[in-house]
Amino acid sequence: MKSSQPIGIFDSGIGGLTVARAVKKILPNESIIYFGDTAHLPYGDKSTAAIQAYSVRIAEMLLQHKCKVILIACNSASSAAYDLVTEYVGKRAKVFDVINPTIDFIRENHNGDKLGLIGTKQTVSSGVYARKISDLNQDIEFVSLATPLLVPMIEEGIYEDEISRNIINKYLNDPVLSNINALILGCTHYPIIHQEIKNYFYSSNKEVEIIDSADTVARALKSYLEYNQLSSKGSDAVDKFFVSDFTESFEQTTKTFFGTEVHLEQIPIWDELT
Ligand code: DGL
């Protein structure tokens, strides 16, 4: 692997741009190749087998683009396909997901705490977080709640208003999340409502740390690149953003997740499979 190779990031759609944005913020010299599988979204309601098949094919495409790292930005794909993608990629690139860096963060900071997770149905029902937290062998109580309305809500541009506040409050009021010390935002889209979630706990007088998996994986990636002397040395980074199905509305929504609107290019990676 060479430091000049790009970083591949993939997601079910454009929500993973929150992760690309976090990476870009702390690693501005790295070139990014982003792929959003808009032809198949949402992954949150798909079967594990379907997500695994999509993820391996996407990893192959990113390898063809000579990526030194493949970062699975999607929590649903991280929970369904990390092991398989890692095995498939082998030594050809380093694979990151958004779950393991969060588990490392928890190991170092949350022994003795009660932790909550919110995410898609796939992420919650996979039980991956529960298993990895229990493997830490620490005194941690773990609870989780699927919050499937949040993705379409954010994609429809409904956030920072009364409707989003009501939906967020309804979910966070769920008794399963009572008395947590920290809440893991286990979905690409949730950084967009980070502040609203914070406000909920603040206004209910609860001190709850919000763990944003986009930030934890960006920090882990930076340490990995530095430690392995794989950080890009140039200042001529070029980012490319691909999707499997282009619509103008997807392109417009990139602003919500990336901060600025980016140009999306369609690549037909599924043609050979259909
Ligand atoms: N990217 C997905 C995740 O982080 C959310 C959107 C979807 O369900 O595809 O789980």
The predicted model scores a pTM of: 0.95
Give the Å distance between the CA of 46 and the centre of ligand 1: 10
Residue to substitute in 144, 151, 153, 154 for testing ligand 1 pocket (most ligand atoms within 8 angstroms of CB) = 151
Query: Is the predicted pLDDT of residue 272 greater than 70, yes or no?
Result: no
- Catalytic residue, from 118, 182, 187, 218: name it: 187
Percent of the chain with pLDDT over 70: 99
Q: Whose CA is nearest to atom 8 of ligand 1?
A: 44
Give the pLDDT band (50/70/90) at residue 274.
very low
Is residue 57 within 8 A of residue 32, CB to CB? The reply is no
Give the Å distance between the CA of 86 and the centre of ligand 1: 20
CA nearest neighbour of 33 among 2, 59, 10, 1: 10
Give the Å distance between the CA of 9 and the centre of ligand 1: 14
List of E strands, 182-249: 182-186, 209-212, 240-243
Average pLDDT, the chain: 95
Q: Specify whether 67 is catalytic.
A: no
Residue 152, preceding peptide bond in cis (omega within 30° of 0)? no
Amino acid letter, 28: P
| pLDDT tens track for 137-183 | 999 999 999 999 999 999 999 999 999 999 999 999 999 999 999 99
Is residue 112 within 8 A of residue 139, CB to CB? The reply is yes
How many angstroms separate the CA atoms of 116 and 172, rounded?
Answer: 10
* Ligand 1 neighbourhood includes 42 CB (under 6 angstroms): yes
Query: Is the predicted pLDDT of residue 66 greater than 70, yes or no?
Result: yes
Q: What is the DSSP string of 30-64?
A: S-EEEEE-TTT---TTS-HHHHHHHHHHHHHHHHH
Is residue 118 within 8 A of residue 33, CB to CB? The reply is no
Please report the domains of the chain, with CATH numbers, ordered by start residue.
7-97+215-273 (3.40.50.1860), 100-214 (3.40.50.1860)
Query: Is the predicted pLDDT of residue 260 greater than 70, yes or no?
Result: yes
